[in-house]
Structure formats: C-alpha cells, structure tokens
Amino acid sequence: MRYDFGSDNTAGMAPSALDALIQANTDYARAYGSDDVTARAADQIRQRLDADADVRFVFSGTAANSIVLSMLANPHEAVLAHHAAHICTDETGAPGFFGQGVGLIGLPGFSGKIESRALQAWLEEPVVGHRQPPAALSLTQSTEYGTVYLEEELRHLIEPVKACGYGVHMDGARLANAAAHGFDLKQIARLGVDALVFGGAKAGANCVEAIVLFDKALGRRLDNRLKQAGQTASKARFVAAPLLGLLESGEWETGAAHANQMAQKLARGIVTRSPFTLAHPVEANAVFVRMPVEAHERLNAAGWACYRFDDGSVRFVCSWATTHAAVEEILDAIAGLA
C-alpha cells in the first residue's frame, strides 16, 4: 500500500526538522523545557503571531486541544464546535477526559465552516440546569474539509462568543496550510482567540504541537497541568527542535505551500481527467472527491491509500513530501477507474 495521499501524517520528517533534531543531540542541555532550543522555538512562534504569548510544546494535537479546552470550560459546561471537528470525531472523548466531563456541542456548516446562524441560535439558548451550557468556541483552521476561514468569517463567529464572555480555541493542526493559502497569522490574537494549537507534526515535524496562550491568565499553573497529563518531556529540546528547524529554515511555510500546490494539481486533474467531482473547495492541502464505493475499493486495491470521510467523500491529502510524479500516477489510476 502506498501512503502518498493517506494523510499528511504518513510523510516523514522534513529535512530541516530532522537536521534540527540531530543538532539538538550534539551537547548537554537543561531539562524540562528550560533549554535554548525550546526558547528559540517559542520565540519563532511568537514572531509569526506577533503576540506576547505563553508557549508550551506537547506530544500530540489531541492532548493540546483537550488541555486547552479544559482551561476554557468547566466540567459542567460545553464547547461549541463544527460537528466534523477533530475534537468531536477523532479524539475518543479526550476533551471530556481532560476536562473532567466537559461536553461538546456539534454545529452544522458547509465544508467544515461553522454556520453563524447555528452558532447564534445556541448562544441565545437559555441556560437550564438539565444540560451543559456553552462556555467556549472551538475553531479549526484550516478546517477538516480543507477549507480556510477568511478573517471576516472568523470575526462573525468570534465576536458574539466573546460578547457572551466565552473563550475561543483554535485548532491549528494545519495552520501552516491556512497561512500558505493567505490567512494572516497575526490576526489570530487580534480577532480574540484565547488559545491556539500551533501545528508541527502535519507541517513536517515528528510529534510536536505547541500550546499558545494569548490570554496568559489561562496559564496559571500550566506546567503542573501538563505534568499531570503526561505532556512534560524531560528532554524537551527533542520535542521542540524539529519545529524549530521548520520555523528557522522557513520550511514550515514552504512545505505547506508545496502541499497546497500539489492539492491544486490533483484537484485540477480529477476535474479534467476523471468522471468524478469535487465535494468541497480545495483551499489547503486536502482534496475531497465524490467517488462510488466500488471505485474507491479498486483504488485502494491498486495500492493507493485514501479513505472515505464522514460525509461520504474520499479524502486525498498532500504533504510537504508529495511529488509531482506521485500526483500524475494517482491521476492516471483514478482516470483508469472509469
């Protein structure tokens, strides 16, 4: 089975990430995140976001998202999110686990973007003692369907939430791809996001995501929280180093731009060379295709990894490592399904 398009998680580490990991291994360093590598990586993130934020590095996006949400909502409260958001569909109840019972409220919206009217309806719901009221909003940028929120779209969602006194979390597992599409990272804090998960793994690192707290008040005893959750690395420099390599070299941006370009190439080929249609706009690094089950099974049997998403479409994901040749090969395979 080929994994070129199974997920951007199936690609290896980008060259700069691997080089930085090797470089971090050449000498002694302070433990538990007090080393120079970790400090430099945090500074790189602050520079891109143009914000004085608290930054911590953890092993997974699931832990990062869930720990942040546990800061924004109490156990008797809930988090509003798109119904296809990763926290709702792929984290095995982790937000509730870390949040000791925090609930999730799934909202509708085309192509992974929350519909503002549905959000407003929930914000206007009376608080009653028999259900968990909302206390925070979670946004995904880019979305689970490969679309990118415009700044104005985010504003229309965030402003009414902040007016209610609720917190805002952004899952940025594929934030690099959103930035490559044109999203201005410096707007995140200005829009009122309280906490961001800054993606590393899908951008070409190994297993690292950064928790970024724009609201520093949320960071009270943060290190204690991370230690209890098993997210404090003794040799923390090896967690932060690959992301530092991506950021200092610029591969965080260029790798995402390449992935987006490969997705555009794949999408154009599907439209022009196959009988299948696209299910969602292609704005980041994922392509969703309306494909019959039998055709999908034949493609898998031919060795191409891609899987059926929850809306019934088949998802193909490009990464920093996706080649033009691989795109051409899979386009030939898809065309052959006809």
pLDDT range class, residue 338, cuts 50, 70, 90: confident
DSSP state letters, 250-312: THHHHHHHHHHHHHHHHHHHHHHHSS-EESS---SSEEEEE--HHHHHHHHHTTB--EE-TTS
- ∠ CA(207), CA(97), CA(10), 5° rounding? 25
Distance separating alpha carbons of residues 286 and 25, to the nearest angstrom: 34
Q: How far is CA 86 from CA 43, 220, 305, 333, in A?
A: 27, 26, 20, 30
pLDDT of 131: 94
Residues 279 and 111: their CA atoms lie apart, in Å, by 8
Confidence (pLDDT) at 127 = 93
**Is residue 249 reached through a cis peptide bond, with omega within 30 degrees of 0 on the bond before it?**
no
Q: Mean pLDDT over residues 203-219, rounded?
A: 96
pTM: predicted TM-score of the whole model, two decimal places? 0.97
Q: What is the CATH number of domain 15-249?
A: 3.40.640.10
- Over residues 141-169, the mean pLDDT reads 98
Q: Average pLDDT of the chain?
A: 97
For the chain, the first-to-last Cα distance in angstroms comes to 21
10 Å Cβ neighbour count for 72?
22
- Determine the average pLDDT of the residues in 252-261: 98
Asked whether the beta carbons of 170 and 199 are under 8 A apart, the reply is: no
Segment 253-275 shows an average pLDDT of 98
pLDDT mean over 168-182: 98
Q: How many CA atoms lie within 13 A of 103 on its CB side?
A: 11
- 251-336 adopts what CATH topology? Aspartate Aminotransferase, domain 1 (3.90.1150)
List pLDDT tens digits, range 44-90.
999 999 999 999 999 999 999 999 999 999 999 999 999 999 999 99
With a pLDDT cut of 70, the percent of the chain lying above it is: 100
Q: What are the domain boundaries of the chain?
A: 15-249, 251-336
Instruction: Give the E-state strand segments of 87-175 in sequence order.
Output: 103-107, 134-140, 167-172
**Residue 94 pLDDT > 90:** yes
Block residue for tokens 């439209």: 271
